[in-house]
Chain A
Amino acid sequence: MRYLLTHLDDAWALTLIHLRLSLIPVVIGLAIAVPLGALVQRATVLRRLTTVTASIVFTIPSLALFVVLPLIIPTRILDEANVIIALTLYTAALLVRAVPEALDAVPAPVRDAATAVGYRPFTRVLKVELPLSIPVLVAGLRVVAVTNISMVAVGSVIGIGGLGTWFTEGYQANKSDQIVAGILAIFVLAIVIDTLIMLAGRWLTPWIRAGGSARGTALVQGEA
């Protein structure tokens, strides 16, 4: 605890690196997964292919991927780019499976209603179906953001920066105080990011807060 308070400047600098390494992948991964997931939703074969590929990518241990990536793409080993690319792959792999399922969950009457009032398929996906799948996306984003923050810390054993360096330094110098400070800092960071994503999700889905989902359900049942 004392270590954290006396090293606030270091903590801030390391936090910035940590955030850069763990959250840039979340943004890029989301930007890849949403269009891809929406595109393959209706194409059965492509969708199965995407799902299987994503599962295999997700199975590769991230620490291993940090080391293997420089062989596949022209980056140097122990480069920050490896971490960002590896974590982007994980984020995209997790979300690309969630997107089609979230779109499947949009009630058929809602989809029909949107078509009936004149939405074309593209605008309907963009303006009706994707907003309705925000809760699933937010749930996936929360898991992936917190996991990435933890993964970047693990990366410090192979020399990647961020708050994880306090673990390796503290361990080598036999200073448990420094390790505790690192645990605290990462824990707080993860909780803050998790809460921010959750709040953003609520802000983007005002109809759920207003009890709209219950009304929507009643409507669907009434029609059917």
Chain B
Amino acid sequence: MNFLQQALSYIFSADNWGGTAGLAARIGEHLQYTVVAVVVSALIAIPIGLIVGHTGRGTFVVVTGVNALRALPTLGVLLLGVLLWGLGLVPPTVALMLLGIPPLLAGTYAGIANVDRAVVDAARSMGMTEARVLLRVEVPNALPLILGGLRTATLQVVATATVAAYASLGGLGRYLIDGIKVRQFHIALVGALMVTALALVLDAVLAAAVWASAPGSGRLRRMPQPLLDDEVIIDAGAATRMRRTCAPGRQRGDPSLTVDR
């Protein structure tokens, strides 16, 4: 436990927080890489997910693309990017997008595609245009899954932004990688603990957002659902279909609930 004591005393001494290479600055850099990568991923993934989920066309491309992107190693792309484009924000952003896009795309697509068809048809029959159906009906209903994708994406990106330090960039990975390089393992432990704390905090915030986004009053009965379910849903269509057809209480042939009550 000696390393742990050293690491904790490092974290809890004010000297190590200030300055351009202090903990506060490193956390700032780490968050900067994370936010930039997640925002760019969202700008790419969410529109594609919306369109594919709404039209139902290109599902195969989305599933294949998600798997292919995930198969590309982040570290390799980052280091290649540094060799090609030099140091800067571009290589880590591109590399971290590989982790950010798959969950966002899968979550958005699955969210939109799984909205109850009866609800969508009702909106259409009231005369909503396709754009309105998508933005006013499908997106609010899909919001928990979209934000769930955002949560997974953020978590993966914040965890892996650590590798930016290997390419002479900043972030909390500096402690982890420098600590190992100079065999000062308590410094490496400082990095590991800080990244873990950051990930847990961000995850808690986003879990609350997912919870708050659930439409209707059902959220009071439900806890935030765990991560990665959105990606499991996208692949396991059979299981979700099975679950949906067996939703208790109401079958497809039944008269609409809104009419009955």
Interface residues of chain A, those whose CB is within 8 Å of chain B, are: 48, 51, 54-56, 58-65, 67-68, 71, 77-78, 94, 97-98, 101-102, 104-108, 132-133, 135-136, 138-140, 142-143, 146-147, 149-150, 153-154, 156-159, 164, 166-168, 170-171, 174, 176, 179-180, 182-183, 186-187, 190-191, 194, 208, 213, 216-217, 220-221, 224
Contact = CB atoms under 8 A, between A and B. Distances in A.
B interface majority secondary structure: helix
Interface of B: 1, 3-4, 67-68, 70-77, 79-80, 82-84, 155, 158-160, 162-163, 166-167, 173, 176-177, 180, 185, 188-189, 191-193, 195-196, 199-200, 203, 223, 226-229, 231-232, 234-243, 245-246, 251-252
A104 B236 CA distance: 14
B180 A67 contact: yes
B191 A64 contact: yes
A170 B199 CA distance: 30
Contacts of A158: 176-177, 180, 188
A interface majority secondary structure: helix
A154 B96 CA distance: 12
A191 B193 CA distance: 33
Contacts of B237: 135
B243 A61 contact: no
Given A61-B196, A143-B231, A190 B245 contact: no
A167 B83 CA distance: 11
Contacts of B245: 107, 217, 220-221
A139 B235 contact: yes
Contacts of A78: 180
20 contacts: A60-B196, A62-B159, A63-B173, A64-B176, A64-B196, A67-B176, A68-B196, A135-B235, A139-B231, A139-B235, A154-B163, A157-B75, A158-B188, A164-B75, A171-B82, A179-B76, A179-B83, A183-B73, A183-B76, A217-B242
A68 B76 contact: no
B71 A136 contact: no
B239 A136 contact: yes
A54 B226 contact: yes
- Give the one of A63, A65, A68, A78 with max B CB within 10 A: A63
Given A104-B243, A107-B246, A77 B185 contact: yes
Contact of A153 (B73, B84, B229, B252): B73
B239 A105 contact: yes
B162 A63 contact: yes
- Give the one of B74, B189, B199, B239 with max A CB within 10 A: B239
